[in-house]
């Protein structure tokens, strides 16, 4: 997971990067960082914690320049350590490189071993540093950024949306399958590349388009250049971005996530109707789904679990009793909405099953008579190797259990998961262009010991077609 952003703006970038990262905070809460460039010097600041904890206005004022990149981190590869906070900054001969990455490489171990056997040093355990090594190595040989990104696309296996800054030129690229999102927007005096369109909205900017899979974007004094580096037979957009990860107000590869979730809610009713007194969301991840179920069923949407919005991830829960307590502090039931009522409870997904079980327990304690659980994703059966922090098969409740056994474990009266067909229809992207690895156990890149069906990729060697794009003011 992780959120990335790059901005070039004549009016300065540090505050804009800060607001954009704030809008992307849901993509990572472990660390945040910004690097900026003023034409000769690099300025940087990063630290562990939330965006608001890592930066203050004096820090932002010290980050000078009209181009910069930022990152919020959610660890998938690389431990929770200060040295893994991004962006990473490197000096090489007369050049300054700053880089931030969202995604997960499945061949990072091999690549790392190869570099280490050549005597290269690493100062972190992230994939991002490996990408930086590939880029600098090729830049050293040819001096050409297209060649460097081309080499990345040939040798990196997995998911990668990248923003980087080389001597003040802002560059963004997306892996040939477009697994993780990346989009482009226009601000009053500049351009922005970000993981989700919500970062563009936060700056009052205009969404232009998604970065195409296999495309590289360069933004400099001349404007924006686009180069298609590789073309895959099909795409593999992460389906879990639509289910849970992206913000509901984001537009991802042409689909507004809120609308997708609303449609899924309606389809959940069509697939598994049930008479009930009210439809209740598990806030906030289930909300659009629950509204969709309520609209379609005409069963009233009633909030019966209230979320404490000040409950951060920093709440430390050492014992089981404390963990139980934490759920109650996070979600408080409204007894009069639940007492002796039959409730349709809607959430986005069940992963380990512990959240659903606890929430149903709280609702039963508050007097709920029946709890019909409706889930906006099919059962999650397999781990993710491509950037979503999912547990192993052993920990995934649905990996080896039939639906009725899961229902018993979470103590629901009834349980229904949306079918993959309905989910795909709601997203509006052909199933062959989605990564459904966590649902099907079949991945779009080769992963040792797993089933895969990877598309052919055409690497456009030496025939880069570069287009200059202009967007007016």
Residues known to be catalytic: 2
CA atoms within 13 A on the CB side of 337: 19
| Rg of the Cα atoms in the chain | 23
Query: Is 214 in contact with 153 (CB distance < 8 Å)?
Result: yes
Taking the complex as a whole, how short is the minimal distance between the CB of residue 262 and ligand AMP, in angstroms? 17
- Nearest by Cα to 355 from 244, 438, 270, 269: 244
Of 45, 157, 352, 431, the one binding ligand AMP (CB under 6 A) is: 352
Count residues near ligand AMP (CB under 6 A). Answer: 15
The contact mask relative to ligand AMP for 225-264 (x = CB under 6 A, - = no) is -------------------x--------------------
Asked if 353 touches ligand AMP (CB under 6 A), the answer is: yes
Of 355, 413, 433, 436, the one binding ligand AMP (CB under 6 A) is: 355
The contact mask relative to ligand AMP for 272-291 (x = CB under 6 A, - = no) is -------------x------
361: three-class secondary structure by DSSP: helix
Q: What's the CA gap between 1 and 341, in Å, rounded?
A: 38
Query: How would you classify the pairing of strands 414-417 and 370-375?
Result: parallel
CA atoms within 13 A on the CB side of 230: 27
Closer residue to ligand AMP, CB minimum distance, 88 or 245: 245
| Residue matched to tokens 């296996």 | 157
Of 390, 406, 412, 435, the one binding ligand AMP (CB under 6 A) is: 390
Query: How would you classify the pairing of strands 342-347 and 331-333?
Result: unpaired
The contact mask relative to ligand AMP for 120-159 (x = CB under 6 A, - = no) is ----------------------------------------
Exposure string for 447-467, b = 16+ CB within 10 A, e = fewer: beeeeeebeebeebeeeeeee
The residues near 395 (Cβ < 8 Å, ≥ 6 apart) are 352
Taking the complex as a whole, how short is the minimal distance between the CB of residue 19 and ligand AMP, in angstroms? 24
Of 149, 191, 193, 351, the one binding ligand AMP (CB under 6 A) is: 351
Of 31, 126, 227, 349, the one binding ligand AMP (CB under 6 A) is: 349
Closer residue to ligand AMP, CB minimum distance, 43 or 385: 385
Closer residue to ligand AMP, CB minimum distance, 354 or 452: 354
Closer residue to ligand AMP, CB minimum distance, 147 or 347: 347
Segment contacting ligand AMP by CB under 6 A, of 39-47, 88-96, 262-270, 351-359: 351-359
The contact mask relative to ligand AMP for 45-84 (x = CB under 6 A, - = no) is ----------------------------------------
CA dihedral 152, 445, 79, 35 (to 10 degrees): 30
| Residue matched to tokens 């992206």 | 246
Segment contacting ligand AMP by CB under 6 A, of 22-30, 185-193, 251-259, 385-393: 385-393
Retrieve residue 191's tokens.
């351009």
Taking the complex as a whole, how short is the minimal distance between the CB of residue 207 and ligand AMP, in angstroms? 26
Mark out the alpha helices in 102-206 (DSSP H runs).
108-117, 127-142, 145-155, 197-202
Taking the complex as a whole, how short is the minimal distance between the CB of residue 277 and ligand AMP, in angstroms? 23
Q: What's the CA gap between 345 and 352, in Å, rounded?
A: 17
Taking the complex as a whole, how short is the minimal distance between the CB of residue 395 and ligand AMP, in angstroms? 8
* Cis bond upstream, residue 190 (ω within 30): no
- Nearest by Cα to 2 from 433, 391, 389, 438: 389
Taking the complex as a whole, how short is the minimal distance between the CB of residue 410 and ligand AMP, in angstroms? 8
Of 25, 226, 354, 419, the one binding ligand AMP (CB under 6 A) is: 354
Closer residue to ligand AMP, CB minimum distance, 244 or 301: 244
For helices 127-142 and 108-117, what crossing angle results, to 10°?
60
Sheet strands (E) in 275-402? 278-281, 305-307, 331-333, 342-347, 370-375
Residues that bind ligand AMP (CB under 6 A): 244, 285, 347-356, 388-390
């Amino acid at each position: 997971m992780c959120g990335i952003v790059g901005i070039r703006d004549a009016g300065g970038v540090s505050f804009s990067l800060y607001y954009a990262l704030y809008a992307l905070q849901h993509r990572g809460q472990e660390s945040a960082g910004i690097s900026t460039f003023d034409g000769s010097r690099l300025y940087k600041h990063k630290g562990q914690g939330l965006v608001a904890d890592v930066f203050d206005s004096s820090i932002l004022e010290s980050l000078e320049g009209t181009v910069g990149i930022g990152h919020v981190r959610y660890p998938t590869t690389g431990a929770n350590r200060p040295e893994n906070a991004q962006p990473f900054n490197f000096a090489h001969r007369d050049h300054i490189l700053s880089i931030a990455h969202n995604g997960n490489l499945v061949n990072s171990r091999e690549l790392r071993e190869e570099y280490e056997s050549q005597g290269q040093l690493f100062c972190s355990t992230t994939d991002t540093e490996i990408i930086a090594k590939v880029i600098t190595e090729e830049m050293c040989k040819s001096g050409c950024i297209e060649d460097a990104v081309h080499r990345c696309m040939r040798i990196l296996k997995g998911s990668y949306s990248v923003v980087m800054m080389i001597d003040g030129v802002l560059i963004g690229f997306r892996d040939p399958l477009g697994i993780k999102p990346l989009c482009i927007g226009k601000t009053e005096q500049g351009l922005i590349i970000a993981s989700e369109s919500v970062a563009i909205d936060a700056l009052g900017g205009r969404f232009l388009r998604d970065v195409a899979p296999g495309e590289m974007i360069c933004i400099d004094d001349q404007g924006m250049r686009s180069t298609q580096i590789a073309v895959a037979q099909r795409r593999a957009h992460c389906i879990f971005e639509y289910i849970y990860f992206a913000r509901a107000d984001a537009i991802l590869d042409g689909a507004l996530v809120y609308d997708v979730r609303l449609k899924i809610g309606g389809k959940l009713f069509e697939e598994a109707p049930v008479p009930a007194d009210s439809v209740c969301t598990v806030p906030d991840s289930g909300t659009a789904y629950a509204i969709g179920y309520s609209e379609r069923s005409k069963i009233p949407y009633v909030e019966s679990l209230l979320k404490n919005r000040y409950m951060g991830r920093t709440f430390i829960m050492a014992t089981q009793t404390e963990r139980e307590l934490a759920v109650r502090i996070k979600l408080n039931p409204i007894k009069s909405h639940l007492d002796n009522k039959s409730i349709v409870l809607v959430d986005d997904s069940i992963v380990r099953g512990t959240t659903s079980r606890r929430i149903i327990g709280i609702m039963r304690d508050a007097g709920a008579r029946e709890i019909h659980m409706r889930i906006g994703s099919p059962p999650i059966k397999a781990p993710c190797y491509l950037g979503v922090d999912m547990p192993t098969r052993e920990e995934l409740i649905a990996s080896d259990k039939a639906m009725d056994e899961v229902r018993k474990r979470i103590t629901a009266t009834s349980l229904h998961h949306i079918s993959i067909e309905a989910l795909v229809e709601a997203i509006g992207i052909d199933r062959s262009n989605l990564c459904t690895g966590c649902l099907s156990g079949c991945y779009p890149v080769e992963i040792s010991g797993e089933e895969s069906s990877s598309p052919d990729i055409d690497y456009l060697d030496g025939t880069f077609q570069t287009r200059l794009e202009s967007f007016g003011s």
